């Protein structure tokens, strides 16, 4: 009987959806990081051929392919694999591809000797350029045959009906091979059954006419290992359509070379052996790319520098910015860079001609627009998925008598609602009296309050202490150093007193320190030291001075008679609400009475008078001595 060499078709044809690479990007950033170990993949080969132009069964991969539950969907054939994603493009390029597939083939041969169905699988090597959204990959399905084994075609056999075998494979979707034993029964492949095999039945993934898939070599090699005495074998190649066929093959050993001859790398679109590349930047919704890309640098922190940093907590923090001026603009950009997605601006002024050069969210075309809304719109332009809002609102100011009870009551109620809707409040306004009411509200609503204030060549950044801490450990607020309640400081001021006259770089320094202070506060604290965490110190106050370029870290306790955070003021605000605020707006001395500052002032005055009197008596004594 004449013999002829066997021809084989490609085992599968890969089709990789863009969602696969998006999920790979997420896993690389969040899970794998610097690891390049194999990541399991799971897919289902379709039982029926969907494309007549395809030369083999399609291997479809998408975002679900990383989840094991996707195996066997809709009764398809489970097919498992691995992806190895390299950290450096050069490693991907210089990888010894032959050694890679040879090593895997040896492993699959060993697995196949235990269970012939485990001798098949697919593997992907890849490199993901996450900044440019370009992906390089190469798929292989290792197909092996012993060097000493000759598989030759003896004859093409007629196949009366493929239906019984198709039905068997339908019921046993995880099986690639079955045996027809001496009693003409269809049985699972085992080493024992192989010794009495009448015919071998293989699930075929090729679509070429009477040319089987190359993975048939895996099964025939293992069969020869299990039954080396079988020199001639009837093999049925079963497909889901009417193109199944049968061949009589010769299996002969020539020598003792047990090394495997391996193939299986997929050809690229030019029909050459080489990797493929895909540029997703032009295929995916730009907003989806932006959503992942804006967090890229943050997530890279977790790879090596700060693996324990809690980025999700930062992202979920809702921030209220009181003031959309110079500080508000810089603070918002720094917050956005840290991944904060919810920001609300509050301001009552409009963009002036002098603003755009100092306040980076505004342009010349914004002049005359409400600052809060213009700032919100600018952030949306930078990153359209930001949840940002601009609220035009005047914060009621202590010591500024009410001119319209209805309007200011409405502003107060809206401000209270905004506090309830946010986790963190930044005080970034121009005057001290504007900061008083937000300080009070932040205390009794237990919000994180960050205060930033500017001088000509100095700045202050501080976090307000929590009202609910133990009194002995409670930190002070912005007003804890004052012995007078804040009052109207805006009336009858010259132009240089009404405008923020400061060295331009001071605002950037204060804004960045304020945001970094917040981020440090949001991280888990050291159990042994509440002033430190994984990012370092959590100072109470930071005072910077540009005249000598120095920075001081200070800590001051809460003042028992503070006009903004003492128990009497907080209690009155809780109990009386707007009535309390109304009284404070009309007369700042009302707060001095409640807080005890009036008594402190009287005691200080009395002490001063007594001191002056002592000085006079001492002077008289000296005069008498003369």
Please choose, from the candidates 167, 94, 85, the residue with its C-alpha nearest in 3D space to the C-alpha of residue 128: 85
592 within a domain of the structure (yes/no): no
Does residue 310 carry a pLDDT above 70?
yes
- Name which of 236-250, 514-528, 596-610 the model is least confident about: 596-610
Domain co-membership, 112 together with 186: yes
Among residues 247, 265, 281, the one where a domain terminates is: 281
Per-residue exposure over 570-604, b if at least 16 CB sit within 10 Å of its own CB, e if not: bebbeeeebebbbbbbebbebbbebbbbbebeeee
CATH number of the domain that residue 356 is part of:
3.40.50.720
Contacts of 597 (CB under 8 A, 6+ apart): 483, 484, 485, 561, 563, 591
Domain co-membership, 223 together with 320: no
| pLDDT above 90 coverage of the chain, percent | 72
Number of domains in the chain: 2
What pLDDT, in 10s, does the model give residues 345-355?
999 999 999 99
Q: Which residues are catalytic?
A: 499
Domain co-membership, 114 together with 45: yes
Domain co-membership, 222 together with 363: no
Domain co-membership, 515 together with 429: yes
617 within a domain of the structure (yes/no): no
Please choose, from the candidates 120, 119, 161, 143, the residue with its C-alpha nearest in 3D space to the C-alpha of residue 246: 161
CATH number of the domain that residue 233 is part of:
3.40.140.70
Q: Which single residue is written with the structure tokens 């009181």? A: 322
What pLDDT, in 10s, does the model give residues 140-159?
999 999 999 999 999 988 88
Q: What does the DSSP assignment read for 111-147? A: HHHH-GGGG--EEEEEEEETTTTEEEEEEEEEEEEET
498 within a domain of the structure (yes/no): yes
Domain that holds residue 178: 4-281
300 within a domain of the structure (yes/no): no
Does residue 396 carry a pLDDT above 90?
yes
Is residue 204 a contact partner of residue 239, using CB atoms and an 8 Å limit? yes
625 within a domain of the structure (yes/no): no
Higher-scoring residue by pLDDT: 601, 164? 164
Per-residue exposure over 399-411, b if at least 16 CB sit within 10 Å of its own CB, e if not: bbeeeeeeebbeb
62 within a domain of the structure (yes/no): yes
Task: Provide the token pair at 119.
Answer: 């001798």
Among residues 538, 564, 590, the one where a domain terminates is: 564
296 within a domain of the structure (yes/no): no
Higher-scoring residue by pLDDT: 532, 395? 395
Does residue 608 carry a pLDDT above 80?
no
Across the range 303-325, mean pLDDT stands at: 94
User: For all residues of the chain together, what is the average pLDDT?
Assistant: 90
Among residues 246, 281, 316, the one where a domain terminates is: 281
What pLDDT, in 10s, does the model give residues 18-46?
999 999 999 999 999 999 899 999 999 87
Does residue 163 carry a pLDDT above 90?
yes
Domain co-membership, 240 together with 341: no
Domain co-membership, 475 together with 368: yes
- pLDDT for 490 equals 64
- pLDDT for 487 equals 78
- pLDDT for 369 equals 97
607 within a domain of the structure (yes/no): no
Is residue 281 a contact partner of residue 289, using CB atoms and an 8 Å limit? yes
Across the range 103-116, mean pLDDT stands at: 96
Higher-scoring residue by pLDDT: 495, 586? 586
Torsion of CA 269, 271, 276, 282, to 10 degrees: -10
Domain co-membership, 111 together with 179: yes
- pLDDT for 612 equals 61
Higher-scoring residue by pLDDT: 501, 309? 309
pTM of the predicted model as reported, rounded to 2 decimal places? 0.81
Domain co-membership, 275 together with 356: no
Does residue 622 carry a pLDDT above 60?
no
Domain co-membership, 319 together with 256: no
Does residue 494 carry a pLDDT above 60?
no
- pLDDT for 467 equals 78
Domain co-membership, 212 together with 329: no
Domain co-membership, 266 together with 319: no
| pLDDT above 70 coverage of the chain, percent | 92
Across the range 118-135, mean pLDDT stands at: 95
What pLDDT, in 10s, does the model give residues 409-454?
999 999 999 999 999 999 999 888 999 999 999 998 999 999 999 9
């Amino acid at each position: 009987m004449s013999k002829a060499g066997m021809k084989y078709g490609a085992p599968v044809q890969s089709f990789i959806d863009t969602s696969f690479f998006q999920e790979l990007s997420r896993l690389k950033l969040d899970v794998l990081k610097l690891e390049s170990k194999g990541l399991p993949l799971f897919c289902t080969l379709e039982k029926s051929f969907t494309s007549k132009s395809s030369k083999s069964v399609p291997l479809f991969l998408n975002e679900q392919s990383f989840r094991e539950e996707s195996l066997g969907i809709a009764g398809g054939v489970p097919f498992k694999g691995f992806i190895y994603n390299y950290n450096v493009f050069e490693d991907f390029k210089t990888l010894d591809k032959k050694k890679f597939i040879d090593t895997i083939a040896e492993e699959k041969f060993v697995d196949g000797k235990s269970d012939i169905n485990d001798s098949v699988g697919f593997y992907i090597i890849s490199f993901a350029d996450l900044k440019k959204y370009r992906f390089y990959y190469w798929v292989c399905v290792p197909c092996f045959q012993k060097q000493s084994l000759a598989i030759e075609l003896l004859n093409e056999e007629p196949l009366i009906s493929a239906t019984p075998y198709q039905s068997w494979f339908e019921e046993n979707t995880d099986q690639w091979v079955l045996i027809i034993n001496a009693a003409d029964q269809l049985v699972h492949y085992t080493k024992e059954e192989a010794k009495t095999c009448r015919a071998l039945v293989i699930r075929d993934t090729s679509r070429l006419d009477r040319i089987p898939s190359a993975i048939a070599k895996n099964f025939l090699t293992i069969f020869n290992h299990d039954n080396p005495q079988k020199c001639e074998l009837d093999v049925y190649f079963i497909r889901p359509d009417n193109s199944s066929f049968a061949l009589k093959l010769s299996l002969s050993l020539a020598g003792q070379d047990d090394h495997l001859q391996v193939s299986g790398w997929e050809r690229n679109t030019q029909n050459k052996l080489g990797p493929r590349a895909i540029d997703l930047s032009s295929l995916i919704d730009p907003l989806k790319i932006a959503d992942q890309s804006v967090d890229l640098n943050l997530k890279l922190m977790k790879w090596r520098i700060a693996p324990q940093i809690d980025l999700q907590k930062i992202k979920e923090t809702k921030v209220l910015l009181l003031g959309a001026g110079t500080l508000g603009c810089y603070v918002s950009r720094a917050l956005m860079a840290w991944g904060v997605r919810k920001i609300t601006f509050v301001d009552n002024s409009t963009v002036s001609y002098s603003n755009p050069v100092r306040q980076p969210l505004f342009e010349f075309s914004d002049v005359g627009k409400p600052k809060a809304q213009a700032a919100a719109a600018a952030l949306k332009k930078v990153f359209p998925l930001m949840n940002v809002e601009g609220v035009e609102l005047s914060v009621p100011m202590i010591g500024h008598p009410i001119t319209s009870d209805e309007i200011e009551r409405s502003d107060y109620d809206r401000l209270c609602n905004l506090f309830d809707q946010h986790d963190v409040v930044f005080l970034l306004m121009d005057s001290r009296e504007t900061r008083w009411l937000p300080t009070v509200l932040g205390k009794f609503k237990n919000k994180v309050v960050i205060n930033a204030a500017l001088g000509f060549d100095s700045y202050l950044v501080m976090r307000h202490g929590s009202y609910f801490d133990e009194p002995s450990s409670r930190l002070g607020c912005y007003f804890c150093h004052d012995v007078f309640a804040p009052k109207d400081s805006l009336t009858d001021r010259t132009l240089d007193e009404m405008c923020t006259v400061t060295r331009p770089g001071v605002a950037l320094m204060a804004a960045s320190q304020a945001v970094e202070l917040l981020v440090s506060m949001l991280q888990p604290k050291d159990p042994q030291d509440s002033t430190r965490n994984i990012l370092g110190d959590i100072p109470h106050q930071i005072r910077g001075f540009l005249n000598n370029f120095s920075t001081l870290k200070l800590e001051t306790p809460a003042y028992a008679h503070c006009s903004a955070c003492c128990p009497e003021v907080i209690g009155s605000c809780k109990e009386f609400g707007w009535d309390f605020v109304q009284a404070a707006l009309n007369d700042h001395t009302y707060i001095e009475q409640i807080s005890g500052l009036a008594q402190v002032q009287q005691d200080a005055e009395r002490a001063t008078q007594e001191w002056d009197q002592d000085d006079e008596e001492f002077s008289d004594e000296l005069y008498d001595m003369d």
